[in-house]
Structure 1
Amino acid sequence: MKIQRKRNAHYEVKPALINPQASVNARRLMKYLCDMYGERILSGQQAPGLNPAEIKIVHQETGKYPAVCGFDFMDYSPSRVEFGTSSDETEAAIAWWQEGGIVTFSWHWNAPKDLPNEPPDAMWYSGFYTRATTFDIAKAMNDRTSEDYALIIRDIDAIAVQLKKLQDHDIPVLWRPLHEASGAWFWWGAKGPGPCIMLWRLMYERLTHHHGLHNLIWVWNGQAKDWYPGDEYVDIIGEDVYDKPGQHTSLHERFEQALSYTNESKIIALSENGPIPDPDLLLKDDVLWSWFCTWCGGFVYVQEDDKTTYSESHTKLDKLKKFYSHPLVITREQLPDLKSYPL
């Protein structure tokens, strides 16, 4: 079923990526997203690791898989590895792409150092939170001869190793680092927009030019206009919005806010959500996010003893089934072969 509707001008986005050397598959994915933008919305689910419960439960209840799966480089952060963490997120993302899905990555970046490791709120594993580190991003970014700056480079280089594995498999990545910066609850946003913008631009230059990573589509998720690093550093704008449990509004205020960040036409995605927005309201309000990505864990399932069941704490089961079968919503089964999508 095709929904007949007139597409608003702001949905007309050119599929050019900010990296002129972007890989063929990155360009194919961007072309597909631009073709769908304003016409359909891709389903998405944050789901850590191999064989995640989130994907299993969504498929069990709807018979469908989300088109987009969200992964996280958190446990590759060097300051977490020092405490013994390991991760299979890269391998999980490779498997997801090979199964026909779209990959997006965020990075809950544990601060490079200065982790008090004190209970209850400053333990090492909370080191991406401002409350759990004394690491000063402004100091680091304003002194490129400092140890702190060198550690930032070390950490970016560690993640580059994982991104290179994905590039070696020709996997395009919707890459969403430094998310929710303006909230200041993460250390990269703790000192205001200036240092964070510097860090974003540094990361772009380091990953693109030093490491030669051309499989990345850069999704900026700063959530406030004065944090915007510039059109030449942003492919897609993402908004993270957690509506009240059981509320399935279109979130049109945040969509309009995202439109105000730049005068250029950029794709806007709902890069994190709690309740899934109702596709009928999206159509009514003309708020066609490129994709949604429901957060993981208790937003989707509950674990009791050895039994995993769907959690209705945010999206009721009947709503989930409705949304995943709605003609506006694209699931993994409906994706084209993105390895051969026409440019």
Structure 2
Amino acid sequence: MATQNPIEYEGTYLLPEAQLDRFALRMSVGYPKTLDDEIAILEARLRWAKDDPTVDMEPVINRITFLAMQDFVENSIFIHREILRYIAEIVRAARADGRVEAGPWKTAPVKTVCNGCSFACEMNIEVYDGMLVRASRAEGSWNGHLCDVCRFMRPWAEDLAGPLLNGEPVSWEEVKMFMVEREYALVLTPELTNEEIAFLREFAEKHGVPIGSTVSGGPSTATLEDIRKAKRVLLKADPGKCPLLKLLLKDKEIVEEDYEVAILEGPAEPLEVPTLILHGGVNAEGLIRAGLTGIPESKAYVVVGRPGVKLNGDVLVLPAGIWAEKSGTVTNSFGMELKLGKAREGYSPLELFS
């Protein structure tokens, strides 16, 4: 990690290529956006109560153990010559490949939403030549911040490796045979967009297929403004599941009665006050508002996305598709309909139902 700070108000001196290529990312932090942000930085400094905040840190390892660990790595790990040859071949091939450039690369931002929780925080996915490089903050986003789940866990770049039948990998030919030969119920998951939900619902109605979802309970009735304005909150949920909630709860009083809003763990039903229900999955609210809740009775199921619940009978699980490869809309826990931008082309589960 390195910083480039402005020198004499004329920008920064350029780093040579030999130094640039050791960095994977380049980001501009900029100045704090609000007066409160500036004050928060000063308050953090005052809380240190001393010039060096590290003086009270306790060591987790002593020098002798550290040197012994280094010695073990240097002298006790055997690396076969063929592995060294393989590494060297990769290095030499990379030098000769015209597609290889010294980093950091110039990425293109694609605005979408994070699928890490039901808040569906707006973000950019930075793309380089079809590669999903990183998440970044989207200008003008409703959330303003990105949590560590979005930045580092990267749920938007993951999906099932392939279809599963009763937990075991199967071929796509076996998938088609199952869907043709068996009578099944269709089960949707919050990994689908509103448009995918509507498509699959129409398919089910047209072909007489029972349809439901892994989501249960009622819709949220609280808006983002309700949560921001409230001073007294009933909290019956884990804020860690939606990290942005910790910021929204700052300076609020958590109470058991006379509350202005309620925040509940899903599945749940809304209370008489504005209620935020933290259902599992990015588009659980979309499924609820589409009237698709609960799992229908059947001896066989086709599930689109990761089920997360136990189903009785034969269960065929289809990948829902990598989130970064989707476009359309989702409905988050605050009732906002948010747009997804497609960062790159990829597999769609709808192909199997067309």
Q: The TM-score by the shorter chain falls in which range?
A: under 0.3
By percentage of residues, which structure has more helix? 1
Give the structure-2-normalised TM-score: 0.21
Give the structure-1-normalised TM-score: 0.22
- Structure number with the bigger relative contact order (C-alpha 8 A, sep ≥ 6) is 1
Q: Pick the structure with greater CA Rg.
A: 2
